[in-house]
Amino acid sequence: MVTRRNFIINASMATATVCLIPSFAFSSNKKRIGLQLYTLRDELPKDVKGTLEKVAQAGYTEVELYGFSIKDQFWGLSAQELKKLLDANGLRAVSGHYGLGAYLFDGNTTELEAAIKAAKVLESEYITVPWLDETLRKSADDYIKIALLLNKAGKICKESGLKLAYHNHDFEFKKYGDTTAYEILLKETDRDLVYFEMDLYWMTYSKIDPIEMFKQNQGRFTMWHVKDMDKNNQALNAEIGSGRIDFKSIFAEAKRSGMKHFFVEQETNYKPNEIQSIKTSYEFIAKELI
C-alpha cells in the first residue's frame, strides 16, 4: 500500500501534521482512496474474489458498490459473503449505488428496505441513488416530487443509522425557467437527510463549475466521483491526471465541499486495460492530490 511521501518520524511532527492534512486523506498512515466498482463491471461479476484482490493490490482501501438486486444480491453473493471478501482485502464499502426505481415511482419501500438491510451488513455509511428513470423527470414539478421522496427515504435511512445520497449525471442541469433540476433537488431536499455525491466528470461535461457549486451549497457534497475527461473527446473518460479536468483546484476546495469520501470511476477508454487504468489513477491521486 502507498504510504506518505514524507513519513512522520516523531510524535510532535505527527501532531502538527494531523492538523494540516484533510481528514479524508489518510487512515492509519495509508491513503484513503476509493474506487467505484462499476469501473470493473466486465471483470467483477465473473470473479469477485480475484477482482477485489486486484483492487486492494492497486492501493485502494475503500469501494463503492453497484449492481445490487433483491434476487441476486451482489453478483450472486450475499451481503455477508461479500463483507468477508472485502474484509479479507482490507476494503471498506463506504457507499453503494442502489436502484430505488420502484420507490421513486410509487413510494413502495421494498427495494429501499432491502438496500438498507444489505448496507447494514456491509457496515456502509451511504445508500446512494445513482440514476433517475427518464419517465420520472419530465418537469420541474417532477423534481420537486422526487425531492420529497428523497427526504422521506433519507429519514428512513437515518433511523437505520445510514445516510442517503444522490449521484448526478448531466440531465440534472436541464433548465426549467431560471433554475436547473439540480438546483431544485438541492433546494427542496433537507440537508440533514439528503447528501450529494458529485460526479466531477458530468459537472465538467455540463459546463458547471464544481467550485462555484461548493461555494453556493457548502458542506452538501460529502462524496465525489473522481472521473477524468479525455482531452480529445469529451464523451470519453480518461485515467485521472491524463485528461482535461483540473483536479488540483477542485481538491483544494474539499473542505468547503464537505467531501468525506471520493471514488475513482472510469467507464470508457481504458489504457491499456481496466486494472492498469485504476493503478494509474491511484498513483496520480496519491502523488499529486492528497
For residue 221, the model assigns a pLDDT of 98
Question: Which residues pair with residue 92 across a beta bridge?
Answer: 62
Model confidence band, residue 13 (pLDDT cutoffs 50, 70, 90): very low
| Closest CA relative to residue 79, chosen from 130, 138, 24, 122 | 122
Residue 23 scores a pLDDT above 50: no
N-to-C CA span, the chain: 15
Cell numbers for 70? 433483491
For residue 11, the model assigns a pLDDT of 35
Neighbours of 149 (CB within 10 A): 19
For residue 125, the model assigns a pLDDT of 98
Q: What is the mean predicted confidence (pLDDT) over 196-221?
A: 98
For residue 31, the model assigns a pLDDT of 87
- Check if the beta carbon of residue 264 is closer than 8 Å to that of residue 282: yes
Handedness of CA 254, 259, 260, 265 (dihedral sign): negative
For residue 202, the model assigns a pLDDT of 98
Residue 78 scores a pLDDT above 80: yes
Long-range pairs for 205-213 at CB < 8 Å and ≥24 separation? 205/170, 205/229, 205/234, 206/170, 206/173, 208/173, 210/250, 210/253, 210/257, 211/249, 211/250, 211/253
Q: Maximum CA pair distance of the chain?
A: 59
Model confidence band, residue 16 (pLDDT cutoffs 50, 70, 90): very low
Residue 92 scores a pLDDT above 90: yes
Contacts of 137 (CB under 8 A, 6+ apart): 143, 146, 171, 181
For residue 278, the model assigns a pLDDT of 98
The mean pLDDT value of the chain amounts to 92
Contacts of 96 (CB under 8 A, 6+ apart): 64, 65, 66, 68, 115, 118, 119, 122, 124, 126, 127, 128
Residue 17 scores a pLDDT above 80: no
Domains annotated on the chain, with CATH: 30-289 (3.20.20.150)
Q: Report the Cα 119 to chain-centroid distance in Å.
A: 15
pLDDT in tens, 156-176: 999 999 999 999 999 999 999
Q: What is the mean predicted confidence (pLDDT) over 177-185?
A: 97
For residue 14, the model assigns a pLDDT of 38
**H or E segment at 12?**
helix 11-20
DSSP assignment string, 80-112: HHHHHHHHHTT-EEEEEE---HHHHHH---HHH
pLDDT in tens, 222-254: 999 999 999 999 999 999 999 999 999 999 999
Q: 232 vs 22, which has greater pLDDT?
A: 232
For residue 242, the model assigns a pLDDT of 98
Residue 181 scores a pLDDT above 50: yes
